Structure formats: structure tokens, C-alpha cells
Amino acid sequence: MISRMMGRSMVSRLIWLLVSALACLWLLGSVAAAILTRFEVNERLDNALQEVAQRLMPITDDSAAEPTTLRDRAERMVPALDPRALAYQILDAAGQVVVRSPNAPEVPFTGAPHSGFQDSTHYRIYTAPSPNGAYWLEVAEPEVHRSEAIGRAIELAVFPLVGFLPLSWMVIRWVVRRSLRSLIELQQEIGKRDGTNLARIPDLTLPAELLPIHAAVNRLLDRLQRALANERQFAANSAHELRTPIAAALAQMQVLSTQLHDAAQTERAGLIIRQIKGIGELTEKLLQLSRAGAGLALNREPVDLMPVLRVLVDEFRRQDGVGDRLQLYSHGTSEFIVRSDIDVVGIAIRNLLENAVRYGAVNDVIRVVATADHSIQVASGGPPVRPDLMGVLTQPFQRGTTVGQGRGLGLAIVNSIMQQVGGSLRLSSPAKGRSEGFEAVLLFPRPEGSRTARAAETSERTPRPLAAERFAAFGSPELVAQGSSGVR
């Protein structure tokens, strides 16, 4: 019973408990009513037996009367006697039946008569002696008749209460829901709060017991809002603060390496340059992970991802060894509307392209497909990833078996962003329709409303321009003004 109650709401639990308690009380009351009714009916039926015996008693005053005379007198005294319900016998002093009703047996109801009530197999009997001691008068009621009378009385006393249970359930349900309406309102207001809505819960008509909860939740929302704002501000500012000294150190080391003439020193300078670049890449990934963890993707501003895809594809095509290997297919999709922060979703796409370029086979085409079912697919060649590694690739600092300079953070960042967007990241290896390779699919939720409504909303809330200071988190600033080319 306790396990069944665990998944129910407080209102359902309270209604169920009250109705159950009321049903138990109703059952106890019905049993008590049945017992009292049985006792009362038995007592009244016994009184009826005594009353009939008293009405018949005067016919036994004449001890010398003939049986026929006694029978005639009895019929005159109790002409309305129900032959199905009652029967009587008049016994002489020796216990022999002198007079009886038509429905009475020819033998005495009991053996030796004695005063009072007696029970036999088929009758409830009342026996009384005549005043002159010459006769015994016995009045009996069949047990079948008595059982029927008691049953009908119990039905009349108990069965009307059956209709009381559903009526009680409706009344209890109405009272409980009305009493807990304020709690339900508080629950609904709390349920509306998430990363995009941390506003304080407005004043509600709450009972005194819920006011501390209301105040505590508002304090917690204020703290979360401040903490989230500070974290987002840190993630936004750290990129500029950390990139500058790393870029300066890299530039100084590159200048120094050109001034060295010793081969051994030049090799050491090149090693330092590669290490600084590695630090820069790791710093960039950590900043991206921080931005993803800060909940920036929870922003629900409608943005079009097609320009982002084109810019990123053009950027990666300019890298050595990529070129036309990286192909973008839109399948007639002119726009790709997503409700999120454009910078953070750009980070997710950039990481997928980076993985495909870094770990894919150098001679295979990298396909980037924006589909009509609101997904972005990135497929590359190369040996398939072992099935036991597929489940851990989205965890931080987890890598497959391929050789490369990755840090094991890219897919973890993408997975975190997609969860905040409300979508998902699907990985498969081999790639779909191939015997090798790796495929990553970003599954975005469809925006609400029709295409026309989305376009109208997009026109009213035009995405902010991809300015260099915003696009620096996932792309090169100089690519913003160059547009894209070669999109298929």
C-alpha cells in the first residue's frame, strides 16, 4: 500500500486516506447498526409472541370446555392471526395437544413445556401456563419468517448508507482540492522556474504553514540568479582575459624562434610553441565547457543556424588538408530555427566539425547535413569506434582509440549544450549507411507553431549580428565578413 502511495500527489493521498478512513468507519457503523437492528427486531417479535399469548389466554379459563369449543373461542379472539407468521398450540396438563392452529404441527413444539422463550430447529416459541393450571399455551414463530424480517430490517437500516460513500468521496474531494488550492498554485509556480526563468514567486494567498516555504524558495531563486549571472559573466570575460597572455606568449616565442641559429635551440623553441598552443586549445575547451555548464544555452531566443553552419564550414575549409573534403548539404532547408543562444550552439557545431577534421580519415569526405527533421548530421570516415567506448565519449576527458591532439572535452561540451537546448546528441559508429566511419547527430526540438509563424517571429526578433566579439567564442572574427561559398 505504501509503495502504491509513493507516486501519488498530496491531494490524491489525502483524498484516498480520508475516503479509506470514512469507509472503515462506515463499515464499523454498518456492523453495529446490523447488530442493534437484529437485537431490536428480535425483541419486538418476542413481544408480538407474548401479546398473542395474552390474547389467547382467556380461552383456557374453562377447564371443562371441549376442544371444539376452545378452537372456536381461539378463532374468535385472534381472527387476523397470520397463519404463515405465527402458530399456536394448547396443551393439557399431560402435555398433549388439545387445540392447535392449522399451520401448527400435531405434536407439541417442545417436549416438556415450561414457561418462557425457547428455540427449536424451526420455531421460536413462547410458552405460558393458564391461570387455572389446566393448560399450557404455546405460541411459535417460524425461524424462516423471523430471518426474513430481520434481513429486511437490516437492509433498510444499512443499504441507504451505501449511497453515502460516493457522495462522501465527492464532498471530500471538493473540500480537499479547495483547501489545497494555494499549495497547488505554489507548486505550479515553482514548476515554471528553470534556467530561463528565475523570477521570484509572486505573493499568493497561502496559509501560515506555507509562508516560510514561499519565502525560502524566493531566497533560493535570488541566490541562484546571482550565482548563474556571476558564472555567465565569468565565462564571458575569462575568454578575453586568458587569450591575451597566451597569445602574447605565443607571439614572443615565435619571434624568439626566428632569431635562434642553433638547431637544438630552435627545436626546443618549436616544442615550447607547440606546448603553448596546446595550453591555448585546452584553455579554449575549458572556457567552452564553463560556458556550457553556466546554462547559456537555456536562453530561448529564436536564432537561425544556417548562417552559422556556412561560416563554420568556410572556416574549416581554409585549414590545411581540408578544402573541398568538407561539404555542407542543406537539402533545400533555407532556415534552421532553434531557440537557444547562438554563440553556445555554434560552440557545439564547431566541436563536431573539429572532431571530424581531426580524427576522420584524411582522404574521406566529411558530410555536414542540415535535414528537414530538425537535425544536423556530421559524418566522417576512418576506422569505427569500439562499442564499449561509445557510451563514455560524452564524458569529460574521455577519448576513443584514435591518435590526435584532442583533450576529450569536445563531445562532453556538445552533449551538455544539447541537453540544455532540449535536444540530444546521437553518436553512431560505423556511420549510417557505411561500414566504417563515425557520425554525430544533433537532434533539436522543433519550434512551436507553423513555418509562417516562425518566420514572422524571427523577423520580429532578428538574431543579433555575428559581431567579432560574439563570434570569437567559436569562430575566427575575420570570417564574419567573408560569407560562405560552395554550399551544396
Same structural domain, 330 and 464: yes
Q: What percent of the chain has pLDDT over 90?
A: 0
Residue 296 to residue 340: CA distance in whole angstroms: 8
Question: Looking at the 3D structure of the chain, how many domains does it have?
Answer: 3
Question: What pLDDT is recorded for position 2?
Answer: 45
Last residue of a domain, one of 259, 294, 329: 294
Residue 189 C-alpha cell reads as 509556480
Q: Does residue 441 contact residue 367 with C-beta atoms inside 8 Å? A: no
Q: Which of 1-15, 111-125, 153-167, 238-252 has the highest mean pLDDT?
A: 111-125
Characterize 7-17 residue by residue with b for buried, 16 or more Cβ atoms within 10 angstroms of its Cβ, and e for exposed: eeeebeebbbe
Q: What percent of the chain has pLDDT over 70?
A: 75
Same structural domain, 254 and 338: no
Question: What pLDDT is recorded for position 225?
Answer: 77
Query: With the C-alpha atoms ordered 349, 351, 354, 355, is the resulting torsion angle positive or negative?
Result: negative
Same structural domain, 248 and 341: no
Same structural domain, 281 and 337: no
Question: What pLDDT is recorded for position 354?
Answer: 86
Stretch 189-200: mean pLDDT, rounded? Answer: 74
Same structural domain, 14 and 89: yes
- Domain holding 151, by residue range, is 10-161
Stretch 377-398: mean pLDDT, rounded? Answer: 79
Question: What pLDDT is recorded for position 468?
Answer: 34
Question: What pLDDT is recorded for position 391?
Answer: 73
Give the range among 226-230, 237-241, 317-321, 337-341 with minimum mean pLDDT: 237-241
Residue 130 lies in a domain: yes
Average pLDDT, the chain: 75
Q: What pLDDT band is residue 199 in, cutting at 50, 70 and 90?
A: confident
Residue 338 lies in a domain: yes
Question: What pLDDT is recorded for position 398?
Answer: 61
Same structural domain, 112 and 152: yes
Q: Does residue 451 contact residue 335 with C-beta atoms inside 8 Å? A: no
Question: What pLDDT is recorded for position 433?
Answer: 76
Residue 170 lies in a domain: no
Burial level of 160, CB count in 10 A (0-12/13-18/19+)? Answer: exposed
Residue 19 lies in a domain: yes
Stretch 204-211: mean pLDDT, rounded? Answer: 79
Same structural domain, 231 and 307: no
- Radius of gyration of the CA atoms of the chain, in A: 48
Question: What pLDDT is recorded for position 412?
Answer: 81
Q: What pLDDT band is residue 469 in, cutting at 50, 70 and 90?
A: very low
Question: What pLDDT is recorded for position 93?
Answer: 77
Place of cell 542543406: 330
Question: What pLDDT is recorded for position 481?
Answer: 29
Same structural domain, 205 and 156: no
Last residue of a domain, one of 294, 321, 336: 294
Question: What pLDDT is recorded for position 195?
Answer: 61
CATH number, domain with residue 92: 3.30.450.20
- Bridge-partner residues for 136, per DSSP? 91, 129
Last residue of a domain, one of 278, 294, 310: 294
Residue 237 to residue 227: CA distance in whole angstroms: 15
User: How many beta carbons lie within 10 A of that of residue 418, not counting itself?
Assistant: 23
Same structural domain, 221 and 153: no
Check pLDDT > 80 for residue 437: yes
Same structural domain, 58 and 75: yes
Residue 166 lies in a domain: no
Residue among 143, 96, 135 nearest 119 (CA): 143
Same structural domain, 277 and 310: no
**115 Cβ contact list (under 8 Å, min separation 6):** 127, 128, 129
Q: What pLDDT band is residue 406 in, cutting at 50, 70 and 90?
A: low
Residue 185 lies in a domain: no
Q: Would you call 194 helix, strand, or coil by DSSP?
A: strand
CATH number, domain with residue 345: 3.30.565.10
Question: What pLDDT is recorded for position 364?
Answer: 85
Check pLDDT > 80 for residue 410: no
Same structural domain, 327 and 289: no
Give CA 216 to chain center in angstroms.
25
Q: What pLDDT band is residue 156 in, cutting at 50, 70 and 90?
A: confident
Check pLDDT > 60 for residue 79: no
Question: What pLDDT is recorded for position 84?
Answer: 64
Residue among 67, 32, 15, 282 nearest 175 (CA): 15
Question: What pLDDT is recorded for position 470?
Answer: 42
Residue 153 lies in a domain: yes
Residue 109 to residue 24: CA distance in whole angstroms: 44
Residue 172 lies in a domain: no
Check pLDDT > 50 for residue 461: no
